[in-house]
Amino acid sequence: MKPGAPPREPERPAPTRAWVRLLSGKRLDLLNPTPFDWEDSDLATGLARTYRWGGHSAWDLPLSVAQHSLLVLALRRLWHPAVDDPRADLRELLHDADEGLLGFDCISVVKPFLGETFRLLTESLERAVALRYGLAPWTASEWKPHKRADRVAAASEAVHVVGWTNREVRATLGIAHQPLTEDPLTATYGGVPWEPWPPTLAAERFLAELRVLSLRLEP
């Protein structure tokens, strides 16, 4: 710097970009999401392109969170056929919606290493989803059957999609529930049992279910 020249102001770091551009053209701010930042089709696409089990699969394709969400919903309907509650069905369908917006399904053993910041990020996305679709918080009595369906789905996916043995599901994954033999989704969609769907098909089926449930809740 030349003698007598005014001191230079320190360079300010560029603001961190925390938003992602979605297929619809909307921008989702991952650090400060609002319920208006995405279209239903964006959510369906995100869930169909976000994979469970770290993307590993014994099939040609990995298993999407969209297909898993439909499986958990199918189990709720299978186990409680007399209960016709579209709002509860919608909450089941959207139980992992934050993962589709984030584009990341973290395997459970890694989550503790990501820390408090990651937990707060996912919780802010969950709140935005709840506001968007009018989802009430889980009660203790509702949470228990939901977790059963989610864990049974996980055990079944581990065996039929990824290739774990039943013993490994219990001893290594720590899932006490017995894996299913039959795939509940084939009753609705046909196809080869337990085969992961292509992303386009998974998004189409998830979006169709989301729209049906949303229409049933309209006043």
* pLDDT confidence of residue 11: 62
Number of domains in the chain: 1
Q: Do residues 162 and 57 touch, judged by C-beta distance below 8 A?
A: yes
Position 83 in a domain: yes
In a domain, 169, yes or no: yes
Tens digit of pLDDT for each residue in 7-63?
666 666 656 778 999 999 999 999 999 999 999 999 999 999 999 999 999 999 999
User: In terms of C-beta density within 10 A (0-12 exposed, 13-18 middle, 19 or more buried), how is residue 81 classed?
Assistant: exposed
Q: Is residue 203, in this structure, part of any structural domain at all?
A: yes
Give residue 89's domain range. Answer: 35-216
Q: Please determine, for residue 5, whether its predicted confidence score (pLDDT) is greater than 90.
A: no
In a domain, 29, yes or no: no
> Would 182 be classed as within a structural domain?
yes
Report pTM.
Answer: 0.91
